[in-house]
A and B are shown apart, each in its own frame.
Chain A
């Protein structure tokens, strides 16, 4: 009985927290105008509302939590600085995501760690897991975690542009046009980069396979 009460209380608290950060478009516009008129404190509600989305995006490109936090912080500061250039015709979320992805790309370019030529940090068993991936419909938590780590390890070896394209196009399933809008690249450049990225990824996988049998 007591436990049930606690659960109900917690549930209420969670709903309260969710409602606190929920914003509709007109509220959002009002907040943006207030910020533009000098009420900096109003920006906090925008951060509270959008930070889960921005954190999820940043975690696709950075692994260490301290790095993720730095990226998110940079994104929100950049957004604040550029807020006067936001045109209200498009949703604020789209504009924010554009800034987020571009900031993540800048981060990847600054911290290129994909120059590693050896595959010593990738466990053979984990790679074998990938070779049979999909055959096991319900993998254990450990297996899934190992695969997640492997995916991150392999993606880290790609060039920044290649990683960006593979993440947006193949993993997130965005269209070429959408990617062009988000990144600011032309449609043909996205296509070229996608082709090169897939080729680069296949080469990495091939190299790993060759090293495996040496």
Chain B
């Protein structure tokens, strides 16, 4: 048991040691900051096709995209509302008529009472 744990410890120690050596080796790699000749010209050529970010255009595009689902929802609701009123119309036409009459005459009734 003791021998096995010593073996594992030694292995770990060795791995740590190699890891440290790897990091030290990586630190010693000199930075290569060489640039290809006229590289900035290449980027500038690319930039001519790049348009600056226009926030108004982004908003307009977003709103335009949102308009289509909004219209679709509106149409659905309108259709649903129209269909539901036509089916209920016959059943509740009398009730609606009396309610309308009651609403229209309500102010006059109130006036009569106050006289």
- In the complex, the answer to whether B23 meets A148 with C-beta atoms within 8 Å is no
Q: Hey, which bits of chain B sit against chain A, CB under 8 A? A: 11, 14-16, 18-19, 21-29, 31-36, 39-44, 46-48, 50, 52-53
B21 touches A44 (CB 8 A): no
Please tell me if the beta carbons of A130 and B18 are within 8 angstroms of each other in the complex.
yes
Q: Is the CB of B32 within 8 A of A148?
A: no
Are B22 and A154 neighbours in the complex by a CB distance under 8 Å?
A: yes
- Min Cβ gap A150→B in Å is 8
Once the chains are docked, how many angstroms separate the CA of A18 from the CA of B29?
24
Question: Which residue on B lies nearest to A155, using beta carbons?
Answer: B26
Q: With A81-B50, A151-B25 known to touch, is A53 a contact of B19 (CB < 8 Å)?
A: no
A residues 142-181 in Cβ contact with B at 8 Å: 144, 147-148, 150-151, 154-155, 166, 170-171, 173
- Cβ-defined contact, B40 with A133, below 8 A: no
Residues on B with C-beta less than 8 A from A148 are: 25, 29
Size of interface on A: residues with Cβ below 8 Å to B: 42
Given contacts A44-B44, A56-B32, A77-B50, contact A170 B39 (CB under 8 A): no
B15 contact from A44, A133, A205, Cβ within 8 A: A205
Distance of A73 Cα from B53 Cα, bound (Å): 18
Q: Tell me which residues across on chain A come within 8 A of B48, comparing CB atoms.
A: 40
Interface pair A130/B21, CB less than 8 Å apart: yes
If A52-B35, A69-B36, A84-B53 touch, whether A202 touches B23 (CB-CB below 8 Å) is no
Distance of A69 from chain B, by nearest CB (Å): 7
Contacts of B50 in A (CB 8 A): 77, 80-81
Complex Cα spacing A154 to B23, Å: 11
CB nearest neighbor in A for B21: A133
In Å, the complex CA distance between A76 and B41 comes to 12
